Every structure is written in structure tokens, then in C-alpha cells.
Amino acid sequence: MKVFAISGSLRRASFNTAALRAAKALAPEGVEVTIYEGLRDIPPYDDEVRTGSGYPAPVAALRAAIKEADALLFASPEYNFSISGVLKNAIDWASRVPDQPFDGKPVAILGAATGLYGTARSQYDLRKILASLNAQLLNKPEVLIAQAASKFDAAGNLTDETVRGLIAQQMVALRDWTLRLKG
């Protein structure tokens, strides 16, 4: 099973990208996680570009990767009580017709933040956005990593065993959800 993972952060030392690396390491047998590294290359959304010359190459590659994946895993920081602008921009580009690739796609969401709420508000907004695209959202377990600086070491490794357990549970649940939807 192929899971395509997208971090909504551009920071090199991003806790959200580190959480995706942990998810990759904790994925059950038979689940391959690929972490997207092209978010920085997505230009600002411009429908005149899309309807004129077509999708820019980085957007076409993102759309293809989403379409080819069996499931998606998102990790987004919380900026101003919502998802990051770069993640919203990428979703806006990828979600345009024809062949909107989020339709029917199983999706799990996690997030890490330095504050006490652990991306609760950004995850809520991301759920609304993805639901509007008919993505099939995994509801439980929720993974909200609060006070993230205390949960990762200086090298970006997730050290908190409780959070590691939650991510492992979420990856099993995403696998099972994907199989149920395909079955």
C-alpha cells in the first residue's frame, strides 16, 4: 500500500515533517510512505496559468503522486489558527478539474505545534477543505502533538513514546481504512 505524505511546512527543522518521518518508520508491514519534498516548488495559484498553458510541472507531478497513492497523510503546522498558506496553495492547485485527485482518497491527518493545542484548529480546517473535495477522512485516532519542541530531539527524531504509539495506531488505522474503502 502506497501512502503519499505531505507536510505543510517549509522549515528544514519542521516538527511536522519530522512527524511524517516517524509515521514512515512506524508504518505497519506492507505500507510504504513517501514524503513529498516539492512543496517549495509549487507557484502561487493562478487560474489563468492553469487554463492557459496548463499545470506547471511541479503541480502536474503533485497531482500525479496524489492520484497514484492508495492513501494520503497530511501534517500541517498551525498558522493564525489555520493551515499554512503553502499547503492551502498546493491543495488549491491539485484540486482543480479535470480528474480532481482527492476524490474518494483515504486521508489521515496529524500535526505538531509548539503551543498547547497541537494543531487542533488547523486540523479542523484541513478536514473541512478535504471533505469538500470528497476525500475519505480517517476520524480516529487523532494525533495532535502539543509542545512539540519537548517531543523531538535536536536531530528531529520523535522521542515521546506516547506520541509514537498514537502515530503507529494511526498508521494501522489508515491501512485498515484504505483496505475497507477499496474492498
Phi, psi of 45 (to 5 degrees): -60, 135
Domain ranges of the chain: 2-182
Q: Give 30-70 pLDDT, tens digit per residue.
A: 999 999 999 999 999 999 999 999 999 999 999 999 999 99
Overall CATH class of domain 2-182:
alpha beta
Indicate the DSSP class of residue 23: H
Kindly report the pTM of this predicted structure: 0.97
Calpha distance 50→116 (Å, rounded)? 40
Q: Give 114-167 pLDDT, tens digit per residue.
A: 999 889 999 999 999 999 999 999 999 999 999 999 999 999 999 999 999 999
CB-count exposure of residue 139 (10 Å: 0-12, 13-18, 19+): exposed
- Give the CB-side neighbour count of residue 107, counting CA atoms within 13 A: 24
